[in-house]
Structure 1
Amino acid sequence: MSTWTPEQLDAIRATDDFHISPYRADGTTPGTPTWIWSVVVDGDVYVRAYNGTASRWHQSAMTQHAGRIRAGGIETEVTFTPVDGAIQDRIDAAYEEKYAQHPYLPPMVSERTRAATVRVDPK
């Protein structure tokens, strides 16, 4: 597993334009890009599915564990890892800071979306 560079983290942290494309069933073809919110916590990139674990992109990400992202001028292959535990509170805080002015913030820090939290790592 690779890590994000400081420049990549800064670009992802600054953008509101994060597109996620988990691979399709063949394991190599990226799915349709889905625009989602992203946050950076302790040098890692996290995303959540607005519709929770029922989200199609989340289901694909959890099945394939890999795909592509495009954000802040970065386009790269990534891996997806489900997240649980104490880090969730810090992820909530990052969402609250980055998206404070958005009306969709409350659902993004709910139990439904917390259950669909994914760490995104470069391949």
Structure 2
Amino acid sequence: MASWTSDELTEIGHAEELELASQRDDGTLRDPVTIWVVRHGDDLYVRSMNGRTGAWFRGTQTRHEGRIQAGGIGKDVTFTDADPAVNDQLDTAYRTKYHRYGEGIVGGVVNPGARSATIRLVPRP
């Protein structure tokens, strides 16, 4: 399995937003959506504010593959369910990175529904 380079982790992890396009059944990419991204250790994560019923989240569940772009880096990725054991650390990462938006906005990604729709981004070779 491929892993992120140090530069990729830094650039994507520091990016304010990430563009995510999931693959349809026929292999074509859906239109990208703009979402927040956080880094935890050597992994990158995204969450759906609308939980598992969010349109872009459901799109990631079709083939579990797609493309991201952030921090000047474009990468093909696999979407995997995050280990629920990291949810508290990811909540902290979201609050730290995006605190300037206030708890009313950040609360959209640090609630039970969003936590259930946490995706770990795994680079594809």
Ranges in structure 2 where 5+ consecutive residues have no aligned partner: none
* Distance in 2 separating the partners of 1:39 and 1:77: 17
Q: Does 1:114 align with 2:108?
A: no
Look up the equivalent residue of 2:101 and give its one-letter code. Answer: H
Following TM superposition, by how much is the alpha carbon of 1:17 offset from its aligned partner in structure 2, in angstroms?
2.4
Distance 2:108 2:67 in 1: 25
More helix by share: 2
How far 1:69 moved relative to its partner?
0.4
In 1: Cα distance, 2:96 partner to 2:43 partner: 16
- The answer to whether the Cα contact below 8 Å between 1:84 and 1:115 also exists between their aligned partners in 2 is no
Give the match for residue 7 of structure 2.
Answer: 7
- Give the AA of the match of 2:120: R
CA distance in 2, matches of 1:38, 1:7: 16
- Paired residue for 1:53? 52
What does the per-residue CA deviation read over 1:71-122, in whole Å, with 9 as the maximum and x for residues that have no partner? 1001111000012421111111110110011141011100010010000011
The equivalent of 1:24 in structure 2 is: 24
In structure 2, distance between residues paired with 1:119 and 1:33: 17
The corresponding residue for 2:76 is 77
Which 5+ residue runs of structure 1 have no aligned equivalent? none
Give the Å deviation of 1:57.
1.2
Question: 1:1-48 CA distances to partner (integer Å, 9 max, x unpaired)?
Answer: 21111101110121112000010121x211100000000001100000
**Distance in 1 (alpha carbons) for counterparts of 2:36 and 2:59:** 17
What amino acid is the match of 2:91?
D
TM-score, normalised by the number of residues in structure 1 = 0.95
